[in-house]
Structure 1
Amino acid sequence: MAGTGGVSPSQTPTLPTQPGAMTPGRIGCAEIVRDLAWEHTPLGPRDRWDPAVTATVELVLTSPMPMAFCFGDRFVLIYNDAYADLIGTLHPAAMGRPAADSFGELWRSPGIGGVVEDVFRSGQPFLEPETQLTVVRAEGTRPEQAFFTRGHSLVRDSHGTIAGVLTVAAETTQVTRRLQNLSELTSRLAAALTVDDVARVVLGYAMASFDVDLCMFAVDDGNGFRAVRRIRGEMLDEADERLPPVWKRLSDDPHAPLVASARANRPSFVPDGEPLRAVASDRHERRIRALAVLPLRTASLKGSLSIGYRAAHTWLPAERALLNAAAQLVAQAAERARRFEAQHGTAQLLQRSMLPEHLPELERFRIAARYDVGVDGNAAGGDFYDAFRLADGRLAMVLGDVAGHDVRAAAVMGQVRAALRALALTEPDPPGVLAGLDRLVTSLGAESRNEEIFVTVVYGVLDPADGTITLASAGHPPPVLRRAGLGGEPPTAELVKVPPGAPLGLGGRWQTGLVRLEPGDSILMFSDGVVERRGRALNDGLDALVAVAAGASSGDPRNLCSLATTAVPGPTDDDVAVLAVERAVALSRSATMLVAAEPTGPSRVRQWMTTWLREWTVPEPVISSAILCTSELTTNALLHAGTPAQVHIDLNAVRLLVSVADTGTRGSVIRAHTDTMSSRGRGLGLIEELSDSWGTDPSVRGSTVWFELLLRSTSD
């Protein structure tokens, strides 16, 4: 590896004799890589390389800068022509061989192999300052002192696993950092699941690596194109970075550089002029003088990436090559993301279409549920919930889990849920319903010749007259019961003592348990994905869930569902389903407003809310906070979803609950503290600070963001 790692000149390693610049007739590294028998190396056949590894190798071979990629823990070398000039007579034998075998004792010299091994094992990139390297340019010539800056970065494969180390030797720190950023771009793009994710990564990379005044990223959208941009000086905080980018549809103008480059699959570089004058949408674009536009083209995607400066800029060959390499990586990532979105959307639609779109509304009981896809979000799962009225006025409530994360699991789930409804509407007694489901699962297993269908269910019947719930469990975790506390005592929570029963399909017998909800109490059913984590005991997860329920600011079911999904830290490999029911202390008052997707929407919501809340004699401090938060959420929904929004307010003796629902695809809203004022992240910061609790609920048709304000807090 070029460089000394801080070794003093007297100890500077001397690399083998250099053959000089590449001469006609000399075989290039790209040809060697093409013809090498890789099946005999740790990388295996080239057609089976991981896409991220392939992209890294292509980047190395096309770069004009000396670059080497050390693959795996044996550090198998792949390098380019510029790097071959540095290692001299070790080339071409070093290609495709472990670095230690090729370099011999030199690999163990200070600042050579040890640096690469440290980066690989520590997972931390390393950028060395300018260091000396003694080289011999050609046989018979005197040794010379050359100066290089080396950057070592991790390369991860498309699964996020460390694949190797990319080393760049450059003569300027700026170029080295750009190439290191390109390596980091590869890693970040590998983790980008959606086109929105790709856009965020690309815009951040371009602004940081090239210090540009304008960056735009465009992809085809039907017969046209849509684009997102970033400009210099735009204030962005953590919440802004995570919010969905604001896309703008581009006019199909042949003079538009982004559109022209995408359609012709041809790059363009303007060093000075007014490249965006004919299509500029504002002063930021009109002021651009130098513009580079790179096409993004794959088998199923067209797009373009552009960066621009307000001053004249010479696009040097090295910079063009770097931009071209970045564009290729971005195009591959965007195509992957588009395929993921299509598959993810299908899986989500299949999953959610099997779940109830609306839950029953009872006079003195409130119900909420939530379903979050686990694993990679790209497969339908078997978790389900349901709640429905029975013929005698009681409420049936169920939460179940079919093992598996595929279409088959979702299909079994749909059959079990439909059968449970049919059985419960005929004879709602829990043991009888579970016995009927047991026969169904046994039949499905025999029909498919698969005895491994594993289904668990907890099923209960709530009597609204006295709040009693008759429960039975078929191998499912028991629900959590939250007691509101009496006479000022703090709330408590515990697992309901339900007699254990065998999972469905095993021919078991089931007994019932009885629990009574007093006013203010809540019950929470959940799937095992809520409490199970790798490497942790199940009881730890159950204890954490019980503690979170007891510490909740209220027993509101929507709040409990939101808290339950994050009660146990760490990622889960399973789907997550929760269903909560609260017995209200008193009847609540509610109102709903449908807001059109137009600029006057937020102001109309503010007037409507003010009228209702003052009529209900809500304290003024609560009204002010509620209106401010609702206005921000409504603006966010109309801006990012682009569909009408539905605002719902619900007031009882202890709290005000507000929800804003849309039918768009703006993605999940995240919790984030915002320390600086910005154009969009401010809303989330306000809700975080002003509300007692808040969350987001994905649904079949869009998402709902809600917040809760406790009325008693106004007298504290």
Structure 2
Amino acid sequence: MVGSGGYGSGGLRPSPITTLPAQTAGTQHTGLGCAALVHAFDWSGTSLGPITGWDPAVRAAVELVLASPLPMLLTVGDDFLVLYNDAYAEVLGALHPTALGTPAARAFGPAWDQPGLGDVIQQVHRTGRAILEPESQVQFAPGHTEPAFYTRGHSVIRSSRGAVAGVLTVAAETTHVIHRLQSLGELTARLAGALTIDDVTRVVLAYAMDSFDLDHCVLAVDDGLAYRYVRRIRGEMLDEADERLPPVWRRVSADPAAPAVAAAESGRATFVADGEPLNAVATDRHERRVRALAALPLRTPSLRGALTVGFRRAHVWLPAERALLKAAAELVAQAAERARRFEAQHGTAQLLQRSMLPEHLPELDMFRIAARYDVGVDGNAAGGDFYDAFHLLDGRLAMVLGDVAGHDVRAAAVMGQVRAALRALALTDPAPPSVLAGLDRLVGSLGAESRNEEIFVTIVYGVLDPSDGSVTLASAGHPPPVLRRAGQGGEPATAELVKVPPGAPLGLGGRWQTGTLRLEPGDTILMFSDGVVERRGRPLNDGLDALVTAAAASPSGDPRNMCSLATAAVEGTTDDDVAVLAVEHALAMSRSATTQVAAEPTGPSRVRQWMTTRLREWGVPEPVIGAAILCTSELTTNALLHAGTPAQVHIDLNAERLLVSVADTGTRGSVIRARADALASRGRGLGLIEELSDSWGTDPTVRGSTVWFEMLLAGKARA
């Protein structure tokens, strides 16, 4: 018989296989059915005694077994006398008919002592509790090459006096398949929400390792003429331990000796039960230890790839398991193709969107400016959110944040027209009512030309006078900005919504009034789009309150930190785009420096030397220098490694904090060539940043991304 299946920590796994011992030579089937054999058998010499003296409940159980079309085995008494029906005789193969009426230990020989047969039946007999074995394998009669696979349920048979008389074993189609089909359904649901190849990879590797209790798993996809892959092995420190980390892709040539490449190129699955399937291409001891491997192709019209799963022990790939793996591979292939199309659309849309936004914001002596734009969850189309900040002819600063309703190219086109018109109007007459009135006429004209009266544009526009920090604001149907006031004399910071007179959205022929405020040193004003605070099923005021609370609790009013904080202030996800613009009135002028880092191995060491020299010249405390250099070196290494382009390191120091940013120019939205975001090197970068900095974040740009961190200097003596 067979070993019982077990539930491992990672889910169901196939049971170990035990075959029945071969019948001794000379034994032949009688040709009679089991019912006839049972009635013809001389039971008087057994513990059961003559049939006429059997307990009525036992007799009824025997009749049930003999009449059932399902394979059934009945072991009766303390010596477990064996009775079974015709269906189970086929399962026993060569052991039939000599096993009938024989104590189980003698009938099954060594197989009775194998895990999953004698021990299970004796346990049920002893405890009276039923046991369901998830999966088992039983060998047919000699000459049959294909084994049969069953789920076996064991339950007690009681005598008419209620005592345990025997154990009934029913073999049926495995329920193990049902459990794995449920797992397959979960995989389908999770893949439905996977937008990118990185997302698909996370889902698939987690599913495979958990559901099959694997030692080795690889997902590979084509990368031009080569392949790139992500590997998981049992007990490995995972890069993906934090969801903010993308998987780390490795590149491999299209070597046909690699099972994954062979499966991807041929479109055929292969299964190795025992051997050295990765020995020819092994890169480390983990791969050399793999003995059993399944390689499943991932093939669609636009994608070639493979999923390989393996064990460090011999493993028979059962037919049901093979079918399940092939079905899972089909789902993964379709999800990967969808993700590839999404990345192409997403990358194009993002590039279009960000090309319409300012790539560089103005620099002022006592005012620091930062902005951030994040696409919505659906992210595969351009949107209408935008921000801008620019110098006016009289030296003042114009700042604006707007939202054109819609998530398509048309919304982005309207946004581009509104932003360009706003600049032209502001450079002529920067007064907020005049600018909004001109934009109102533009939006009305656009709606009339397109015969679409549903163009909906909101905007908040302000003019900052750097000489005294005064800000004049007007709103056209847009949420009011948040004002963070720095605490004075040790008092905690506060935050509130700016009281801007409400006005109608653009295109409706409204009139707009202005409000004024003054940014004192240390204060920050934050403009934002409604995607920051709106959540489905929740009042808008809840989101506004959460944003105000987060702004007041921020340890710093630094604009980059405020932008990062704003995008995460409200719980839940949003389908809308998110745009934020922050301006801080600095307490003192800051010192800054920038260096370019070549994409070569010596780049990080040169950054460390340059940064050490600068920070010591500026009198930064040594503990801060050490921590900052460690983080910067790690981020620079990641930027050079994953973007494959030169990086730019910028440091900015004032009396309150040290701000360091590392920018790469790797093109976003690449369809074929993978690039992991910064902080993806073995998970180390993220841990360093979170441990050593006071705040950090990532800012996407028109091309590439910027990773930054901030270290507060309050309370730390400076030389």
Normalising by the smaller structure, the TM-score range is: 0.7 to 0.9
1:494–1:609 CA distance, 2 compared to 1 (3 A): same
Select which of 156, 170, 173 maps to 2:174.
Answer: 170
TM-score normalised over the length of structure 2: 0.73
Shift of 1:18: 8.0
Question: Cα gap change, 1:542/1:325 in structure 2, threshold over 3 Å: closer, same or farther?
Answer: same
Give how far 1:314 is off.
Answer: 2.9
- Candidates 391, 406, 409, aligned match of 2:408: 406
Determine helix, strand or coil for the equivalent of 2:595: strand
Change (3 A) 1:468 1:18: farther
Given candidates 175, 183, 188, the residue that maps to 1:186 is 188
**What is the distance in 2 between the residues matched to 1:326 and 1:695?**
36
Relative distance call for 1:241 and 1:374 in structure 2 (3 A) is: closer
Among 552, 567, 570, the alignment partner of 1:568 is 570
SS in 2 for 1:449: coil
Picking from 612, 624, 628, the partner of 1:622 is: 624
Q: Is the 8 A contact 1:244 1:640 kept in 2?
A: no
Moved more, 446-455 or 477-486: 477-486
Cα deviation, residue 324, structure 1: 1.1
SS for the counterpart of 2:231 is strand
- CA–CA distance in 2 between the matches of 1:667 and 1:482? 35
> Structure 1 pair 667/312, CA: closer, same or farther in 2 (3 Å)?
closer
Matches within 5 A, 1:537-616: 537-616=539-618
- 1:291: how far off? 2.4
Whether 1:371 and 2:373 are equivalent positions in the alignment is yes
Aligned to 1:107: none
Measured in 2, the distance between the counterparts of 1:551 and 1:370 equals 20
Q: Give me the whole-angstrom Cα distance separating, in 2, the residues matched to 1:642 and 1:242.
A: 21
The 1:280–1:420 alpha-carbon spacing in structure 2 relative to 1, beyond 3 Å, is same
Q: Distance in 2 between matches of 1:215 and 1:312?
A: 16
For 2:233, which of 231, 234, 242 is the aligned residue?
231
Distance 1:18 1:391, change over 3 A: farther
- Alpha-carbon offset, residue 586 of structure 1: 1.0
Measure the CA separation in 2 of the matches of 1:692 and 1:357. 26
Q: Distance in 1 between matches of 2:152 and 2:415?
A: 62
Shift of 1:212: 3.0
Give the match for residue 519 of structure 2. Answer: 517
Secondary structure of 1:498's aligned partner: coil
Q: Which residue of 427, 430, 440 maps to 1:428?
A: 430
Question: Structure 1 583/188 Cα, relative in aligned 2: closer, same or farther at 3 Å?
Answer: same
Say how many residue pairs are matched. 563
Query: Where does residue 301 of structure 1 map in the other structure?
Result: 303
Per-residue CA deviation, residues 579-621 of structure 1 (Å, 9 max, x unaligned), is 0001111111111122233333333222222111111111112
Q: Following TM superposition, by how much is the alpha carbon of 1:194 offset from its aligned partner in structure 2, in angstroms?
A: 0.8
SS in 1 for 2:475: strand
Aligned to 2:383: 381
In the alignment, residue 477 of structure 1 is paired with which amino acid?
P
What residue number does 1:660 align with?
662
- Equivalent residue, structure 2, for 1:112: none
Deviation at 1:679, TM superposition (A): 6.7
Q: Secondary structure at the match of 1:712?
A: coil
Alpha-carbon offset, residue 288 of structure 1: 3.0
Distance 1:239 1:310, change over 3 A: closer
Compute the displacement of 1:684 (Å). 1.4
- Deviation (angstroms), 1:338: 1.0
Unpaired runs of at least 5, structure 1: 1-8, 22-128, 135-142, 149-168, 671-677
Distance change >3 Å, CA 506–CA 176, structure 1 → 2: closer
Return closer, same or farther for 1:372/1:505 CA change in 2, 3 Å cut-off: same
Matching residue's letter, 1:272? D
Contact 1:655–1:708 (CA<8 Å) still a contact in 2?
yes
- Closer/same/farther in 2, CA of residues 237 and 221 from structure 1, 3 Å limit: closer
- Give the 3 Å change call, closer, same or farther, for CA 368–645 of structure 1 in structure 2: same
Work out the CA distance in 2 between the residues paired with 1:242 and 1:428. Answer: 42
1:278 alignment partner in structure 2: 280
* Distance (Å, rounded) in 2 between the aligned partners of 1:605 and 1:179: 53
686 and 254 in structure 1: CA distance in 2 versus 1, 3 angstrom threshold: closer
CA contact (8 A) 1:177 1:209 kept: no
Which residue type is aligned with residue 516 of structure 2? L
Distance 1:230 1:416 in 2: 49
1:312 maps to what in 2? 314
User: Could you tell me how far apart the structure 2 residues matched to 1:242 and 1:525 are?
Assistant: 26
- Cα separation, 1, equivalents of 2:202 and 2:242: 10
**Secondary structure in 2 matching 1:714:** coil
Deviations 1:153-203 (A, max 9, x none): xxxxxxxxxxxxxxxx7366xx66544433322222222111111112222
Where does residue 350 of structure 1 map in the other structure? 352
Distance 1:385 1:667, change over 3 A: farther
Deviation at 1:130, TM superposition (A): 8.0
- Asked if the contact 2:239–2:246 (Cα under 8 Å) also holds between the matched residues in 1, the reply is no
- CA distance in structure 1 between the aligned counterparts of 2:356 and 2:465, rounded to whole angstroms: 26
Partners of 2:542 and 2:286 lie apart in 1 by 54
1:524-543 equivalent positions in 2, closer than 5 A: 524-543=526-545
Query: SS of the residue aligned with 2:714?
Result: helix
Matched-pair contact (CA < 8 Å) for 1:360–1:389: yes
Take 2:68 and 2:186, find their aligned partners in 1: how far apart are those partners? 31
Secondary structure of the residue aligned to 1:312 is coil
Report the CA distance shift for 1:485/1:233 in structure 2 as closer, same or farther (over 3 A). closer
- Change over 3 Å in CA distance of 1:479–1:222 after alignment to 2: same
* Whole-angstrom distance in 2 between the partners of 1:445 and 1:257: 59
Q: Hey, what's the Cα distance between the residues in 1 that align with 2:404 and 2:290? A: 57
Q: Identify the residue that residue 452 of structure 2 maps to in structure 1.
A: 450
Provide the C-alpha distance between the structure 1 equivalents of 2:301 and 2:69, rounded to a whole number of angstroms.
41
Q: Point out the more displaced range, 259-268 or 206-215.
A: 206-215
Paired with 1:504 and 1:133, the residues of 2 have a C-alpha distance of 76
Q: Is the 8 A contact 2:363 2:369 kept in 1?
A: yes
Which runs of no fewer than 5 residues in structure 2 stay unpaired?
A: 1-57, 72-150, 157-166, 669-674
Identity of aligned residues (%): 79
Could you tell me how far apart the structure 2 residues matched to 1:130 and 1:507 are? 77
In the alignment, the residues of structure 2 paired with residue 529 and residue 368 of structure 1 have an alpha-carbon distance, to the nearest angstrom, of 18
Partner amino acid, structure 1, of 2:445: S
Deviates more, 1:661-670 or 1:355-364: 661-670
Structure 2 equivalent of residue 709 of structure 1 = 711
**1:464 matched residue in structure 2:** 466
Residue deviations 1:307-342, cap 9 Å, x none?
A: 233343333322222221121111111111111111
> Which structure has the larger Rg?
2
CA RMSD of aligned residues (A): 3.0
Instruction: Compute the displacement of 1:683 (Å).
Output: 2.4
Matches of 1:423 and 1:667, distance apart in 2: 41
- Whole-angstrom CA distance in 2 between matches of 1:513 and 1:130: 78
Deviations 1:203-253 (A, max 9, x none): 222222333332221112223322221223212276456522222222122
> Per the alignment, do residues 667 and 371 of structure 1 end up closer, same or farther by CA in structure 2, a change over 3 Å counting?
farther
Letter in 2 for 1:642: G
For residues 106-121 of structure 1, the aligned pairs below 5 Å read none
Distance 1:706 1:130 in 2: 59
Q: 1:482 to 1:660 in 2, by over 3 A?
A: same
Corresponding residue SS for 2:562: helix
